[in-house]
Amino acid sequence: MTYKKNIMNHPSKFTPVIISSFVMVFLSLFPVINLINVLCCAGIIIGGASGTWYYARQLERAGGYIQNKDGIMIGLLAGIISAIIYVIFSTTIIMLSKQNPVEMVYKLSEQYGFNFPPESEKVLRTVNDEYSRNGFSTVMIGVELFSRIVSHCIFGPIGGLLVASMYNKRRNKIQ
């Protein structure tokens, strides 16, 4: 009977996932702040940890305790959502600024004397034409979305798992 009561009192994971997603996007999107992600995607780990911490606190108030799978799930869902939101924001920023990132790549490669292989040159020309024509590149959106989903879905759950493990370790010491 007590087990059923604890299940019914579990708070929703919706708010913790939104908190984690917001932290991940905030720490990834803004210049200077986003440098934290240079340290093994620390901003994404912090994002996964923040929502999991919030959820663990809510569970404690409800008389329950967090499980590792809760932290992993919060980090995973937040990773997917934050990757999508990040790509939408970054694409919008590129479109509004009317910058073509491929042109910057060409300028830097010329400056340092780097030549692209013919296969890479063909892809860069295609992406460059898309930016010039549309203000964005579907190829780059796809590549960035894929890489963000992979990285956020690896490091977000790590942050969630770290917090869940710390709460469980603390709970085990108290008992």
- Going from the first residue of the chain to its last (175 residues), give the mean pLDDT of each consecutive group of 10, the final group possibly shorter: 52 97 97 94 98 96 94 98 97 91 90 90 93 92 97 98 94 80
Reported pTM: 0.86
Report pLDDT for 3: 46
Residues 130 and 146 occupy one common structural domain: no
Distances, alpha carbon 172 to alpha carbons 140, 168, 169, 175, in Å: 47, 6, 5, 5
Report pLDDT for 175: 73
Structure-token pair, residue 70? 């809760």
Residues 103 and 81 occupy one common structural domain: no
Q: Residue 120 belongs to what domain range? A: 99-134
Report pLDDT for 9: 67
Between CA 161 and CA 76 the distance in angstroms is 10
Residues 75 and 89 occupy one common structural domain: yes
Residues 143 and 122 occupy one common structural domain: no
Residues 168 and 93 occupy one common structural domain: yes
Residues 126 and 42 occupy one common structural domain: no
Residues 18 and 91 occupy one common structural domain: yes
Residues 34 and 105 occupy one common structural domain: no
Residues 21 and 105 occupy one common structural domain: no
Residues 42 and 117 occupy one common structural domain: no
Report pLDDT for 99: 85
Identify the sign of the CA torsion 134, 92, 94, 17.
Answer: negative
Residues 6+ apart with CB under 8 A from 25: 82, 85, 86, 89
Give the CB-side neighbour count of residue 41, counting CA atoms within 13 A. Answer: 22
Residues 113 and 158 occupy one common structural domain: no
Domains of the chain: total: 2
Residues 7 and 88 occupy one common structural domain: yes
Between CA 112 and CA 94 the distance in angstroms is 25
